[in-house]
Amino acid sequence: MFLDFFESKGHLVMKSFSLVPHNDNSLLLINSGMAPLKPYFTGQEIPPRRRVATCQKCIRTGDIENIGKTARHGTFFEMLGNFSFGDYFKDEAIHWSWEFLTEVVGLDPDRLYPSVYLDDDEAFDIWNKEIGIPAERIFRFGKEDNFWEHGAGPCGPCSEIYYDRGEKYGCGKPTCTVGCDCDRYIEVWNNVFTQFENDGHGNYTELKQKNIDTGMGLERLAVVVQDVDSLFTVDTNKALLDAVCALAHTEYLADEKKDVSLRIIADHVKSCTFMISDGIMPSNEGRGYVLRRLLRRAARHGRMLGIEGRFMAGLAKEVIELSKDGYPELEEKQAMILKVLTEEEEKFNRTIDQGLAILASMEAEMKEKGETVLSGENAFKLYDTYGFPIDLTKEILEEKSFSVDEDGFRACMDEQKKKARAARKTTNYMGADVTVYQSIDAALTTKFVGYDRLTHDSRITVLTTETELVEALTDGQTGTVIVEETPFYATMGGQQADTGVIICPDGEFQVEDTIALQGGKVGHVGRVVKGMLRVGETVTLKVCPERRSATAINHSATHLLQKALRTVLGDHVEQAGSYVDKDRLRFDFTHFSAMTGEEIEKVEALVNEEIRAALPVNTEIMTLDEAKKTGAMALFGEKYGETVRVVKMGDFSTELCGGTHVANTSAISSFKIISESGIAAGVRRIEALTASGLMKHYEEVERELHEAAETAKTTPADLKKKILAMQEEIKSLHSENEKLKSKLANDSLGDVMNQVKEVKGVKLL
């Protein structure tokens, strides 16, 4: 309904992004509709259309201690949003929000109350003079409520729309009105007008490009439309809550203490189901820790309700059934979701009883000493040994009026991390210094033309040193060259960059790296090896053909590998990362356990079979919907525009991909998995070689084989036989040595006994 409405207003409807932020280290999990769209607002990426609408799945755990205790808090929610990137502004945003709520949803206009920022007369006039809302029903609030900003950067006022649910939800105070903390007036929509730039010192200037960022919680809207008490009694959530009640043999609203546990389980299982479907696996760090924390909290409350055995996988099936129409990936990944939940719940069940017993003894000791704070060392012991997240320990203790020394816990955690860091060496890749690039005209872009050519003429638009924009680069200088069109592929999607040369009449530039910059620009990083380059010159760009060819071979092999893994292991396999260069390929994927030798052999055989089949590799540009209909695999969580590039290898593999590839799979020649290992909970890594890289590997192995045979004074063909013979000889010598040592010990004892003398019936040595 919402998406259809805004599609009719010229918006591109985009599917929900993954809960895992893409190229954004500032967030653990997507927590708002605009979060995955930040690169479009900041200009880092060009939006597929200037008008976009989404229904985004979100998770917020900042107020997890309130989840269950009240009926208004939840960790999982869906956020409806319409967005404008320099297109329409306040007038359209306000009119469309009103039109949707009153004409499409059918809410009573007399029960809707807008609010505006204190000084935003423009928004006030739109509500008052154009929509027709009486002035006394429009509320002006200050910065704290109606102005969105996060330090320096783009910011602006907002206009919220509240719905009056009636006196039965109110606090009963005569002063109860919009803005009251009770449940009567509920905010259903927020229009944010990003029109200013804050310099960080409280000074605001008008932005050239003004944006619209809106948000409306789907669950909140459902509460209003269905006229129910809370988000837990919205139809779909109520169905899940009923399933929990059936397991616990209880009824909702019959016992407040049990209600808390019922709400916690329903909410947390839903969040866990969606998180696992997006490739998040339980771990002790980051978003994996959030998942583990939710999962174990739900497991404990299941025990408190008397639910016996494992139960979360069964509830996850209910979540999948209720949500699969909007999120088909849930059903596609059901096997993985259920397996992860089952394994994690079993793991927790094995330790929780022992952990609870230890915690109980710690509580008894504190009572005996008259203490009320559990030491950080003991809290860390529960975490490290028994898998108790610190939040779970806190929650259990708070129920009995105890607390935890969290600073002490963190100190123990930091100490463990220091030891772990000391035990391994880490290397950080330092990329190009991006500060110099922020001065480049945002309107400049670079078109990639390198799919069908390795040489191309284009005009230089920007030159930089490592610290500033310049008009020319001279012999020996390092810097970056930006042109209008380039055949050079920038590091992207796991594929490493092209290298080569840029030639002009007066100079030559060695390209050592190619990087993707904000706003669709490509930077050629390197140094001038001869003469000079100037802004405005037409130059010839030449990609190193050997490097491109070898990289394309490994990239195409990666596509075959992913399809082979899904064929052998199952459709739960998803790409979790990749690295492709001229020498090798690395592929990270979701899977529950280490691959067996037989599985590795099957995958290798399947990939090599498709290489020998000499499949044609074709690419086609089509709409995202058309691509999905072909069954093309997409990188989960990746942003795609209205049109996408589909790479098809015969009838075996079809993927969305912007990288470079061979024309026929026969060019890959051969494929060999060198290693398979685990890199995180539920994530495996394969490293493999192809073509000339594999031949070099075999040559190295053969050289080592000959050296080993020479050392063993035999031939490579007889090396195994010689090693077995040597092992037998060593075994025989070891046995003989043991016998000799035993005999020597006995002989020594005999010599000693011969020296014993008896004096008056007493034996003396």
**pLDDT per residue as tens digits for the range 607-621:** 999 999 999 999 999
Q: Do residues 529 and 475 lie in contact, with contact meaning Cβ atoms separated by under 8 Å? A: yes
Q: Is 279 exposed, middle or buried (0-12, 13-18, 19+ CB in 10 A)?
A: buried
* Single-letter code of the amino acid located at 440: I
Q: What pLDDT is recorded for position 207?
A: 86
Identify the structural domains of the chain with CATH numbers, from first to last. 2-233 (3.30.930.10), 234-351 (no CATH), 360-425 (no CATH), 444-543 (2.40.30.130), 571-698 (3.30.980.10)
State mean pLDDT over 392-403. Answer: 90
Residue 421 has pLDDT above 80, yes or no: no
Environment class of 717 (CB within 10 Å of its CB; exposed 0-12, middle 13-18, buried 19+): exposed
DSSP letter string, 477-510:
-EEEEEESEE-PPPSBTTBPPP-EEEEETTEEEE
Q: Which residues contact 191 (CB under 8 A, 6 or more apart)?
A: 90, 93, 94, 97, 158, 159, 160, 161, 212, 214
pLDDT at 433: 44
Q: State the pLDDT confidence band at 422, using cuts at 50, 70 and 90.
A: low
Secondary structure class of 285 (helix, strand, coil): coil
pLDDT confidence tier of residue 551, bands split at 50, 70 and 90 = very high
**What pLDDT is attached to residue 113?**
98
**pLDDT value for 399:** 87
3-state helix, strand, coil in the chain (%, to 5): 45, 25, 30
Residue with tokens 């994996």, as numbered in its chain: 288
CA 214 to chain centre: 24
Rounded to whole angstroms, the Cα distance separating 582 from 707 reads 28
pLDDT tens for 26-82 read 889 999 999 999 888 877 788 999 999 999 999 998 878 788 888 878 999 999 999
Residues counted in the chain:
765
pLDDT value of residue 53: 98
CA-CA distance, 646 to 624, in Å (whole number)? 9
**Least confident piece of the model among 33-42, 61-70, 652-661, 743-752:** 743-752
CB-facing half-sphere around the CA of 521: CA atoms within 13 A: 25
pTM to 2 decimals? 0.75
Phi, psi at 513, each rounded to 5°: -160, 155
Distance from C-alpha of 256 to C-alpha of 435, rounded to nearest angstrom:
55
pLDDT in tens, 492-515: 989 999 999 999 999 999 999 999
Kindly indicate the confidence band of residue 101, based on its pLDDT and cuts at 50, 70 and 90: very high
Q: Above pLDDT 70, what percent of the chain?
A: 96
Q: Which 3 state secondary structure label does DSSP give 413?
A: helix
